[in-house]
Amino acid sequence: MAQDLAVCPAVPDHAEEKVALLRELRIARDETDAMLITGDLWRIWTDAPDARAQELLDRGMSQMRSFEYAASIETLDELVGYCPDYAEGWNQRAFAAYLSGQNEMALADLDRALSIDPKHVAALSGKALTLMKLGRDDEAQLVLRDAVHMNPWLGERALLTIPLGTDI
């Protein structure tokens, strides 16, 4: 019962490192460099507040990789309930929801993740893909442009229908 009453500690503060990595990403020489920088961002995003949160995140992501989407959502429900200020918990639950066809849930979770970490490139990209899946293409293009502006090497950049230098 003590575990149910446990309070999630503060999310690790990687703000300065994230700003530096996003700056590096915008000027990366090539896709290989961008992949390495993105790996560093993922290391930060998936650095959970404590061991319990890390275990829940890791288990939820593992369940997703095993196509156990309902179990993953259930595990990640526990994570976001325990650590509501941890953006990656919401982002991963959104991904599980997206993969299981629960697009409205995915969109709500992505909005929550982005309210916590507005520069979470993966959440922005996920939001763009979810909006596309929902047929909200104009909105998706705006979100995707924001994501590609932060990471010009983002794989989803190929989905932009209007080049970055063009006003919409």
Domain spans, the chain: 50-110
CA nearest neighbour of 97 among 120, 119, 75, 81 = 75
In the predicted structure, residue 2 carries a pLDDT above the cut 50: no
| pTM: predicted TM-score of the whole model, two decimal places | 0.91
Percent pLDDT > 90 in the chain is 90
Q: How many CA atoms lie within 13 A of 34 on its CB side?
A: 15
In the predicted structure, residue 87 carries a pLDDT above the cut 50: yes
168 and 162 in contact (C-beta within 8 Å)?
Answer: yes
State the chain's mean pLDDT as an integer. 93
145 and 164 in contact (C-beta within 8 Å)?
Answer: yes
Q: Give the per-residue pLDDT at 5.
A: 66
- Which CATH number applies to 50-110: 1.10.10.10, 1.25.40.10, 1.20.58.190, 3.30.2350.10? 1.25.40.10
In the predicted structure, residue 3 carries a pLDDT above the cut 70: no
pLDDT tens digit string along 113-168?
999 999 999 999 999 999 999 999 999 999 999 999 999 999 999 999 976 555 55
Rg of the Cα trace of the chain?
A: 16
CA nearest neighbour of 5 among 38, 52, 69, 73 = 52
